Amino acid sequence: MTTASLLGEGSAVLAFDVGGTDTKAGLIDEHGVLREVVRVPTPYSTDGSGDAVVAQLTVLARGFADRFPDIQPEAAGLIVPGLVDDEAGVGRYAENLGWRDVPFRDQASAALGVPVAFTHDVRAAGTAEYRLGAAGNYADVLVVVIGTGIASAIFLDGMPYSAHGYAGEIGHAVIEPGGNACACGGNGCLESIGSAGAITRLYNRDAAAQVNGAREVLDRARAGDVLAASVWKDATDAIGLALAQSVALLAPEAIVLGGGLAQAGAALFEPVEERMNSLLTFHRRPVLLLASVGENAGLVGAAIGARERLAGVRS
């Protein structure tokens, strides 16, 4: 694929977005054009290491080199899910992928032979939204990605805030103490109520006819399905509550909603905003924005990180 320039002139870089199911890899040329995106299944670690992931990165990089011999990447950006320590370059924990304390940045750099920028997938997507999307008009921003899970990226006074990977885990804020079991081991987390995965799971738990995704739950709610409407309302109420708590703590000027669930548009934004604002009093009310960079926001954020990493190495 060849698209318009996203990043402008600069070094050619590789970008890797390791997801819970699939890994996406992209090649960005010196003009900032995303030349190709490749998607492959993400390998599960059976020994707690990231060896299989790093091996896969080298195969993907070799493929780009074969198909685009005229492009010489000078750095790479790698983003992964789970608990990620940006500063140390370590993937601390990813329950769904089986790794613990993996020094991804150093391992990937050694395997690829170039400097590697490393961060959390949602922080990378948030960087892309903050740099290239509507969120860039504000200094204090929360970017919330709602998909199979829920996570966020935080920008305060124009700077990202990660707290060694622990900040932004809004999906594991407890909304309903003692409620639904969550993959993290807790109960009542936002992710267990308001994520696309939870909406599907909670509807199918009690429905006579099963659905394949949250979009079908919304469609049934619009068609008058009482159970679907209840599950959708519980989800939007939970998201609105979590955002109100975030507003009380961080006072963002804008909140960007992205991920698959955000594609529901007004059906998500209107009840979430209403619920959020109903819980606020003197607080600054943020504007809610739809993520605008697109489905490859993570790759774009990884590429931004790669170019900045290279600039840091050269300085």
At 219, which CATH number?
3.30.420.40
55 and 142 in one domain? no
277 and 187 in one domain? yes
**Residues β-bridged to residue 41:** 22
* pLDDT score recorded for residue 113: 96
**Rounded distance, CA 159 to CA 144, Å?**
16
* Residue 3 pLDDT level (bands cut at 50, 70, 90): low
* pLDDT score recorded for residue 314: 66
Q: Is residue 143 part of a domain?
A: yes
* Residue 164 pLDDT level (bands cut at 50, 70, 90): confident
* Residue 237 pLDDT level (bands cut at 50, 70, 90): very high
pLDDT at 283 > cutoff 60: yes
Torsion, Cα 203 206 209 210, to 10 degrees, reads 40
Q: pTM to 2 decimals?
A: 0.90
282 and 181 in one domain? yes
Query: Token match 């594991």: residue?
Result: 172
Domain carrying residue 44? 13-121+295-302
Q: For strands 141-146 and 254-258, give the pairing.
A: parallel
* Residue 55 pLDDT level (bands cut at 50, 70, 90): very high
Mean pLDDT value of segment 96-124: 94
Q: Is residue 83 part of a domain?
A: yes
Query: Token match 């919330």: residue?
Result: 144
Burial label, 213 (beta-carbon count in 10 A; 0-12, 13-18, 19+)? middle
Q: Is residue 310 part of a domain?
A: no
Mean pLDDT value of segment 118-140: 92
259 and 174 in one domain? yes
Q: Are 119 and 84 in contact (CB under 8 A)?
A: yes
253 and 226 in one domain? yes
Domain count, the chain: 2
282 and 157 in one domain? yes
* pLDDT score recorded for residue 51: 92
